[in-house]
Amino acid sequence: MANPEVQLFSSLRYDPLLVNLSINNEFSGGEGPKESSPFYMLSLHRDRILQAAEHFHYEKAVNVLRNPQGLANILRTLKEAIDTQSTRALRVRILMSHDGIITVESNSTPEVTKENLYPSRLPPPKTAAHMKVSPLTGGPLTLGDGDSVAGDPSTSNPWDIIPDLKRTAPTPYTSFKTTSRDMYSSARERIGIKDMAEKREVLLISNEDGEIMEGSLTSPYFWRNGKWTTPAVSSGGQIGTTRRWALEKGYVLRDRT
């Protein structure tokens, strides 16, 4: 049983851009025809919080979240808290208490393109791309460094990625997203990240076997043997919403090493 003071949460994006993306409507959760939604992958965020509530035996929270009505409960609370006529994108945090109370927090977030929200593929790193020329057309058979195709996410403004200096014990609080986040704050402090806006990330390392678990804010992907991979659940890290989507689309594979 978790500490009842600990809340479960998931962070998503509010963005008017999403309303016109039919792929996002697949996650709106509406019964019958899917509804246009300005909330990013909403049903996957509900699933994530529900899974945590079931694990920690937050029975009142489970009752609020399960079934189609559970998604409607979250959507109603979001619409009460967020001005859905606003043209400004927001980072939104949905929190769930052990007694089933949903609260919403929000703050500003940078603009992104639709390709960064729903890429048509995850392109290989530049060092893995080598152009070959077709003997028939003189055009490229494969992409070279710096080349891209329609639907690729932007790769400009990369982050600095730094492994933590100390290993972290896998616990339910690393497997599920909760407000108990001292392990992440400590890891960020150890490498000197002082501002959430910094384009730097720390990778948490399991103290059990030295596996990379996850980033303090992000899900890591690694290019191995011509494919993107991501740490297995057994490493102790979380299965985030975009990571789940990328796995289900086949853009990445779970790392078995």
User: Residue 184: pLDDT band by 50, 70, 90 thresholds?
Assistant: very high
Mean local confidence (pLDDT), 31-60: 90
For residue range 217-227, list pLDDT tens digits in order: 999 999 998 99
The correct answer on CATH 3.20.10.10 for the domain covering 160-254 is: yes
Mean local confidence (pLDDT), 26-44: 80
How far is Cα 214 from Cα 203, in angstroms, rounded to an integer?
A: 6
Measured from the Cβ of residue 38, the count of other Cβ atoms closer than 10 Å reads 24
* Second-level CATH architecture of 8-108: 2-Layer Sandwich (3.30)
For residue range 73-95, list pLDDT tens digits in order: 999 999 999 999 999 999 999 99
Residue spans of the domains in the chain: they are: 8-108, 160-254
The pTM is what? 0.87
